Amino acid sequence: MEYYLVKWKGWPDSTNTWEPLQNLKCPLLLQQFSNDKHNYLSQVKKGKAITLKENHRALKPALAEYIVKKAKQRIALQRWQDELNRRKNHKGMIFVENTVDLEGPPSDFYYINEYKPAPGISLVNEATFGCSCTDCFFEKCCPAEAGVLLAYNKNQQIKIPPGTPIYECNSRCQCGPDCPNRIVQKGTQYSLCIFRTSNGCGWGVKTLVKIRRRSFVMEYVGEVITSEEAERRGQLYDNKGITYLFDLDYESDEFTVDAARYGNVSHFVNHSCDPNLQVFNVFIDNLDTRLPRIALFSTRTINAGEELTFDYQMKGSGDISSDSVDHSPAKKRARTVCKCGAVTCRGYLN
């Protein structure tokens, strides 16, 4: 007869008991137990001559330890998922998944929905004027006042080339929330999953639903710091082999977004030399051209289950002309090997 060592919720380990299968009324936990056991034995089988049907009077200590760690990881990831969804302010849900290893939630990451200014930096998030259109799609709206074209078509898809700024309607505008020129400010509309990659790239992000081409997917947010501070932090990040610095160099090179500790889902989006996301500069309530918001739009149709990526150098998408504005992430001194696997891979991230 099979017996299971049970940890009773709310009770110390000293009260653990061995229970026969008929005493357990937890089919989901038992299924997870079975799956974890099978996955572990499958991994062991790759390196040793062992059959999955091998019968033991007791689980081997290494297997038992793995199952316990996997269960604790699953609980930790579920709590993190719940926390992310409590903190986010957009429609799309956030899911977390790790079927690759025992890595748990990041220990030093804080979810934010908008830029977090570093001490000494002021972000003016209130527009001084707005449009009075009755239909912003046909009248002289905020983009025209800024000397650019309206960024979107009637299907809420971006129609301007990369390098062209987006000016959306703001809090002073008389148009309502259904205005066709209010897209980025509504936040992510798609359900996304932060997942552990199997190619050594750590965490990544995949979409759980189909995304049409040229659609807004997410913003890149983080802590806004000076370029001097970014240079200092960049030295530290290089030593750790990480890069979350993104220069706000639309018009000047005064500020950088650092998403290492503070960020949203975009913090986990990986690089690709053949990406499916493209960066655009956006201005809504803050019209300071030194501080654009960074929006990521799909370059093509992205199917459900597909990983989302953008080019950390903002090249190779096929949409950028040689005279477009340079949106490349901030200074990267150490050469970092690229693992994107694209046919057009440049070999390095920088």
The answer to whether 175 is a known ligand-binding residue is yes
**pLDDT band for position 200 (50/70/90)?**
confident
Report, as residue numbers or ranges, the catalytic residues: 220, 312
State the chain's mean pLDDT as an integer. Answer: 88
The answer to whether 169 is a known ligand-binding residue is yes
**pLDDT band for position 178 (50/70/90)?**
very high
pTM over 0.95: no
Of 95 and 325, more confident: 95
**pLDDT band for position 54 (50/70/90)?**
low
Mean pLDDT of all residues in 17-21: 95
Token readout for 128 is: 């001084």
Give 161-175 pLDDT, tens digit per residue.
Answer: 999 999 999 999 999
What distance in Å separates the CA atoms of residue 334 and residue 138, rounded to the nearest whole number? 49
The answer to whether 179 is a known ligand-binding residue is yes
The answer to whether 345 is a known ligand-binding residue is yes
pLDDT at 240 over 80: no
Of 46 and 137, more confident: 137
Cβ(307)–Cβ(202) under 8 Å? no
| pLDDT in the model for residue 335 | 66
Give 261-319 pLDDT, tens digit per residue.
Answer: 999 999 999 999 899 999 999 999 999 999 999 999 999 999 999 999 998 876 323 33
The answer to whether 193 is a known ligand-binding residue is no
The answer to whether 273 is a known ligand-binding residue is yes
Neighbours of 133 (CB within 10 A): 19
SS (H, E, C) the chain: CCEEEECCCCCCHHHCEEEEHHHCCCHHHHHHHHHHHHHHHHHHHHHCCCCCCCCCCCCCHHHHHHHHHHHHHHHHHHHHHHHHHHHCCCCCCEEEECCCCCCCCCCCCEECCCCEECCCCCCCCCCCCCCCCCCCCCCCCHHHHCCCCCCECCCCCECCCCCCCEECCCCCCCCCCCCCCCCHHHCCCCCEEEEECCCCCCEEEEECCCECCCCEEEEECCEEEEHHHHHHHHHHHHHHCCCCEEEECCCCCCEEEECCCEECHHHHCEECCCCCEEEEEEECCCCCCCCCEEEEEECCCECCCCECEECCCCCCCCCCCCCCCCCCECCCCCCCECCCCCCCCCCECC
| pLDDT in the model for residue 330 | 42
The answer to whether 340 is a known ligand-binding residue is yes
| pLDDT in the model for residue 298 | 98
